[in-house]
Structure 1
Amino acid sequence: MDSQITRRRRATGVTFAAAVSVVVGLLGAAPASAVEAVGPTVTYTGDGPTGYSATFRYDAPDDVTSVQVYGEWLFSKPSSIVSQTTADLRTGKDWQPGDVLAGYSNAWRTIEMTKDTDGIWTYTTPLPSGTFSYSFTHGCTTPNASGCTKYPDPENLPLSADLPGATQQTLSQVYVPQSSKFPTYDNDYQAPTSPARTGMLVNSSYASPLPTDAAATRRVTVYLPAGYDKNRAAAYPTLYLSHGGGGNETDWATQGVAQYILENAVKDGEAQPAVLVMTNFNGLSGNQAYANDLRNNVIPFVEAGYNVSKKSDDRAFAGLSAGGARGLTLLYDNTDLFGYYGLWSSAAAYTAPTAEQLQRMKSVKGSIHSGAGKQDFLIDINASSIARANGLRALGVDVTSFDVDGIHSWDVWRQLLDNFVRTSAFKTTDTSIVPAAVATPGRLTSLVASVSAVTTTGATPTGRVAFYAGGTAESNRLGSAALGVDGRATLSTTFASAGSVPVVAVYEGDDLFEGSTAPQVTQVVSAGLGSASVSFKISPSSVKVGRNAKATVVVSARGGGSPTGTFAIKKGSKTLKTVTLRAGDKGRRTVTVPKLPKGKHTLVVVYSGNDTLKGKTSTKRVLRVR
């Protein structure tokens, strides 16, 4: 395997400093003088509009006469974004509460930097909380850096720089926390995690034959979660991620900070460790070619090299933009590959599925998660996403929608990934209920529900199961019971009257698993205990001392019921023998009477009864022993 593994967290070069006396940082405290360092510095200012500023200092070559910082610097109120080219744009110094990234080039803009007296090029701007990507250009005159060479920050190289052989990024990243004094966005979920809570990135080549090149190879980036154990008994689930147009297999680990999003969700107890597989569709001719590469090359490569499950129910796929369009091809025509789907800002119009495609979609055991920026007007992506979700739901497909304010940007896709791993991926459960074999009015009856995880993750569902009779309205609630370690919940309840009662069990879910509802079953409540008749015959009726006689016992049910339970052969108050009567006996057993002393012995059979039949004592029979 051709691979390189990163350190658990590379030294990014990002400095955190404080104006006045407060220091807040992800990499540890830094003195205020550190703002003069080369590289990015995030400073808590305590001033509006965001409480934080970011300073970018870049040591350009001596012959460079102008430098620009290219990044996500433009914001607008969502209500002002009425088309792809129309918005009330402003930079971070004028940021207003509720603003989102905006602009014709998806918020990207080149901004002139100023050369300090020490020869370092500098730009400072207030920024709201979140992850921001940026690079530098030299002598660039186009607002969106078109036609200009982009240089990542040499003091804060993207994570792809630690992966020899990987497709390299030209964008560096910086994370800005949220100020409690000037709240912006709750983006803690994408904050870089501590070294102890950060796993490893592996970039590898795998065989990916093409019609024109049988020896072709491709690159894939795999993230092994913190604490990954190659010998863990429960194989890890996998989440396959696809970039968008113009991206590559390192996008999700750099601009997308997917590994931090997953680890923060795990830390919060809302997701389980999973292996992330970040693919590259460049050079493949179309969406189906990508699906074929996954099926024939990527998935077998990953499953052969890592401790991951080989069950499709334990695999998830999510893609953005052009990657979301490839996700649609997977969902429509290659449904069996994955148990969970994330279709985000999918660059395709809604097409109603064929009957065969629809049947496959309904068979997806996991979840189908759809979302986009509400102001994503690029080729009508948001409108198409909403139409697709509504159209599939109308056809009976279970689709979860999560649309957020924003445009065609990583700010949106990071939110969608966070929601996916916290609410959908690997969380589906199956619930079933078993009615009591016998139920009669007024008597305690046990209903048993079983809950299991669809995905193998090493964890089991916990919490409670609610039981209902006649529908899931609160007025029909019979009660609830806790799940045991065996995944079963047992409720003891009573039914007021006889009849056929529809019963349902609803698992309420926990932080790691979604709730689910069992298919309705019918509980038969019989009118009451039936009567039994008991007869028995001794053969022969007279035996010599030391010899045995046989007793044939017949228990009959009057008015319904099954003659099961036990019966005892008794002489007075003394029990000579107890016999189990099973359903397969059909109420009839022939047994040996224990040896008795010489004399005349009067015997009876006493039937115990069961949940449907009353107990009964037979008439007396005489056995003579001579």
Structure 2
Amino acid sequence: MHLPQPRRTPASPPGRRLMRSLLAGLAVAAAMTAGAIATAATAAPSEPLGPEVIRTDQPPTGYSVTFRYQPPQGVESVHIYGDWFYSHPESVTCNDCGDGRHPSEWRLGDIAATPWRILPMERGDDGVWSITVPLPAGSFRYAFTHDCTNVLATGCTLHDDPANPWKIQPQYAGAPGAVRSTIYVPESKKFPTYDTDYQAPPRPNKAGTLETRRYPSPLSTNPVGVHDIVVYLPHDYDPDRATPYPTLYLSHGGGDHSTAWTMQGVAHHILENAIQDGAAQPMVIVSTDFNGLPGGNLGYVNELRNNVIPFVEQNYNVSTRAEDRAFGGFSAGGSRAYTLMYDHTALFGYHAAWSAGGPQASQVQIDRMKGVAGGIMIGTGLQDRLGNIAENSQRNAAALKAAGVDVDEYNVPGVHTWHVWRPLLNHYLRELVFRATATELGIDTEPAGGSGNVRLTAVATIDPVTTSVTAPSGTVDFYAGDQYLGSAPVRDGAARFHQTVDGALLDEPVIAHYRGDELFNESRSTPAEAH
């Protein structure tokens, strides 16, 4: 996000400054003679417009943001509308319930809650309206209202901040999502609030590229015949790299658009931070749009299979293997994620459904999910009362795990907001997506003297499920049944173990357990019988 900075003009030579001064004096005299007297409403702002993040080292959060905005002439009142009201988790007993406290009343343990409310701004002598809001760490959306009298901004037009607009705007008229200005606030060491460093914008020389693309879509009714996606290419994306990139496809929820996951969800920032931390490999992100697609969930699945995925794989250096694709969606997008996960499982190697209850799975669907090559994640905000989402999500995750499906369940405090979906995505990137491995074990034995000992040679090969330019590293532990035999380091994708053991131990099958490393998750081999 770009924050406006004061404009600095290079110093002029003395002679030029004198001439400029004389001309300015003549201009002022002429204007006064004509009766053109500047008013506060048209005067140049004394301070830069837009948001300014200020480190205060004062309670409750150690940071504040000053917003400066200049509306058109004739506006009598201006309010700011932002997602920064807070509640104690136990006070959230229904959707849009809770304390709803102003950010100046933030308390440790609070969750960001709904609904948003407008806050009044003050007009300065220069015609600029301003407000200073103390904020905890995180990413926030905001907009301005003109002459709005409804505390929830119901019926009021929302205006983006012209000094801080989002870089990617919808390509068609009537696209949902009216709040398209964002701000990031770091965490104060003196007043810790939330660990949201993973959302911080990367340095410009470490940032990737956002693109808005329009592709042919016979299914689309709005716009007719074409549809939109937003594509993020990671830092140092190489269109000619020999190893193609994996792709993460994301779906927004109701009332959003293809810009949502990068504008509001800062998915590209979350990815770049994970890459720089060595916790995720570079990948392409595709943020889809389910508006204007008939057929509900199945229509969206058909759009992915027939139009979106082919377009992406033809226009970017990405893999065409299902194992190298991941999907994630929240709310209405989470419902679409369940349809993919249950009935079109093989289209993706990794699946994630967030803030969606999910229907009960049949045995056929359970069997499909047991065969997922990568992994499945289910998560929600623990206080999400919208249609009992929190309760239903946890119940569905428990049922799938009880049925033998390997589910990574990850829930966080919060309601139905981006303050929940950002950490869920962060977990998906750092703990599951494109991190799966498969361990294969080969063993051989030979006699080692007459004491019943044998010489065991075990070779464990560690293969990434996803195509990767990086090979797994770390350590493999070897077991005979439950008896630990020893460990060996992974070199060039394999761990080689040689040891003389009591032959009686090998009456039990040998298993290799790869521990995982910063980029790849653990895996176990199937039991191997000694010969």
Same fold per superposition (TM over 0.5): yes
Residue pair 1:469, 1:477 contacting (<8 A) in 2 also:
yes
Of residues 419, 426, 435 in structure 2, which corresponds to 1:411? 419
| C-alpha distance in structure 2 between counterparts of 1:164 and 1:210, whole Å | 17
Aligned to 1:541: none
Name the CA distance, whole Å, in 2 between partners of 1:200 and 1:188.
20
Distance 1:479 1:59, change over 3 A: same
1:382 corresponds to: 390
1:569 maps to what in 2? none
RMSD after superposition: 1.9
2:14 aligned residue: none
Query: 3-state SS of the aligned residue for 1:252?
Result: helix
| Change over 3 Å in CA distance of 1:213–1:249 after alignment to 2 | closer
Deviations 1:2-60 (A, max 9, x none): xxxxxxxx634389xxxxxxxxxxxxxxxxxx993211011001111100001111101
1:489 aligns with 2:499: no
**Correspondence for 1:459:** 470
1:81 and 2:92 equivalent? yes
- Supply the AA of the counterpart residue of 1:110: I
Instruction: Provide the C-alpha distance between the structure 2 equivalents of 1:427 and 1:127, rounded to a whole number of angstroms.
Output: 35
Displacement of 1:214 in angstroms is 11
1:308-350 CA-partner distances (Å, limit 9, x unpaired): 000000000000110010000111111111000111102xx44
- Aligned counterpart in structure 2 of residue 505 of structure 1, from 512, 519, 529: 512
Deviation, structure 1 residue 439: 5.1
Match of 2:119 among 111, 124, 131: 111
Contact in 1 for aligned 2:52/2:65 (Cα 8 Å): yes
Match of 1:509, as an amino acid?
Answer: G
| Mapped contact 1:14–1:42 kept (Cα < 8 A) | no
Q: Which amino acid aligns with 2:305?
A: R
| Residues 242, 278 of structure 1: 8 Å contact kept | yes
Residue-by-residue CA offset, 1:471-514 (whole Å, 9 max, x unaligned): 2xxxx2111100111x1111112221346221110000000000
Residues 172-206 of structure 1 deviation map (CA, whole Å, 9 limit, x = unaligned): 00000111011111110000011111111111111
Q: Does 1:137 align with 2:128?
A: no
Cα shift at 1:114? 1.3
Matched letter for residue 100 of structure 1: I
Query: Counterpart of 1:509 in 2: which secondary structure?
Result: coil
3-state SS, counterpart of residue 369 of structure 1: strand
Matched, 1:183 2:174: no
Q: Distance in 2 between matches of 1:388 and 1:213?
A: 34
Deviation at 1:61, TM superposition (A): 0.8
Task: Write the letter of the residue equivalent to 2:370.
Answer: K
1:455 Cα deviation after fit = 0.3
Which AA in structure 1 matches 2:348?
F
**By how many angstroms is 1:211 displaced?**
8.4
Q: Which has the higher contact order (CA 8 A, sep 6+)?
A: 2
| Residue from 343, 347, 362 that aligns with 1:337 | 347
SS at 1:403 equivalent:
coil
SS in 2 for 1:444: strand
CA deviation profile, 1:256-315 (whole Å, cap 9, x unmatched): 000000000001110110000000000122000000000000000000000000000000
1:157-172 matches, within 5 Å, as 157-161=165-169, 170-172=179-181
Query: Larger deviation: 132-141 or 291-300?
Result: 132-141
Match of 2:70 in 1: 59
Q: In 2, distance between residues paired with 1:415 and 1:330?
A: 22
Cα pair distance change 1:14/1:515, threshold 3 Å: farther
Q: Which runs of 5+ in 1 are unaligned?
A: 1-9, 16-33, 525-626
Change beyond 3 A, Cα 1:215–1:263: same
Matched residues in 2 for 1:86 and 1:328: separation?
28
The Cα of 1:228 is off from its aligned counterpart by 0.3
C-alpha separation between the residues in 2 aligned to 1:423 and 1:35? Answer: 48
Distance 1:395 1:233, change over 3 A: same
Residue matched to 1:572: none
Secondary structure, aligned partner of 1:266 = helix
Query: Which structure 2 residue ranges, 5 or more long, are not aligned?
Result: 7-44
- Identify if the C-alpha distance between structure 1 residues 171 and 341 changes in structure 2 by more than 3 Å, giving closer, same or farther: same
1:489 maps to amino acid: A
Task: Look up the match of 2:278.
Answer: 269
Q: Could you tell which deviates more after superposition, 176-185 or 352-361?
A: 352-361
Does the aligned pair in 2 maintain the 1:158–1:169 contact within 8 Å? no
- Partner of 2:524 in structure 1? 517
**Contact preservation (8 Å) 1:12, 1:157:** no
Return the alpha-carbon distance in structure 2 between the equivalents of residues 344 and 58 of structure 1: 36
Q: What CA deviation, in whole Å up to 9, does each residue of 1:599-619 have, x standing for no partner?
A: xxxxxxxxxxxxxxxxxxxxx
SS for the counterpart of 2:218 is coil
Letter in 2 for 1:394: A
Match status 1:296 vs 2:303 = no
Alpha-carbon distance between aligned partners in 2 of 1:368 and 1:125, rounded to the nearest angstrom: 39
- Tell me how far 1:432 sits from its aligned partner: 1.3
Number of equivalent positions: 486
Give the C-alpha shift of residue 84 in structure 1: 1.8
Tell me, what secondary structure is at the counterpart of 2:189? coil
Shift of 1:207: 1.1
* Identical-pair percentage: 46
Alpha-carbon distance in 2 for matches of 1:327, 1:212: 22
Distance in 1, matches of 2:298 and 2:207, equals 34
- Give the TM-score normalised by structure 1: 0.75
Question: Could you tell me which residue of structure 2 aligns to residue 444 of structure 1?
Answer: 455
Mapped to 2, the partners of 1:449 and 1:427 lie a distance apart of: 18
Alignment match, 2:134: 126
Whole-angstrom distance in 2 between the partners of 1:500 and 1:305: 55
Q: Which residue of 2 aligns with 1:395?
A: 403
1:305 aligns to what? 315
For the 8 Å contact 1:350–1:387, the answer to whether it is kept is: no
Contact in 2 for aligned 1:14/1:40 (Cα 8 Å): no
Aligned residues of 2:216 and 2:225 also touching (Cα < 8 A): yes
Paired position in structure 1 for 2:108 = 97
SS at match of 1:324: helix
**Secondary structure of residue in 2 paired with 1:356:** helix
Q: Which residue identity does 1:283 align to in structure 2?
A: G
Match status 1:360 vs 2:371: no
Alignment correspondent of 1:227: 236
Verify the 8 A CA contact 1:131 1:174 in the aligned structure 2. Answer: yes
So what's the TM-score if we normalise by structure 2?
0.88
**Offset, 1:125:** 1.1
Looking at structure 1, the residues matched to 437 and 190 of structure 2 have their Cα atoms a distance apart, in angstroms, of 41
Q: CA deviation at 1:165?
A: 6.2
- Of stretches 423-432 and 199-208 in structure 1, the one that deviates more from structure 2 is 199-208
Distance in 1 of aligned mates of 2:444 and 2:167: 58
3-state DSSP class of the match of 2:508?
strand
Distance 1:147 1:213, change over 3 A: closer
CA distance in 2 between counterparts of 1:522 and 1:169 reads 62
**Helix, strand or coil at the partner of 1:209:** strand
- 1:200 corresponds, among 188, 205, 209, to 209
| Equivalent position amino acid for 1:365 in 2 | A
Alignment correspondent of 1:247? 256
1:478 aligned residue:
485
Cα separation, 1, equivalents of 2:249 and 2:447: 49
Q: Which amino acid aligns with 2:407?
A: V
Q: How big is the shift at 1:367?
A: 0.9
Aligned mates of 1:278, 1:345 — CA distance in 2: 18
Query: Which one has the bigger helix percentage?
Result: 2
Q: Which has the larger radius of gyration?
A: 1
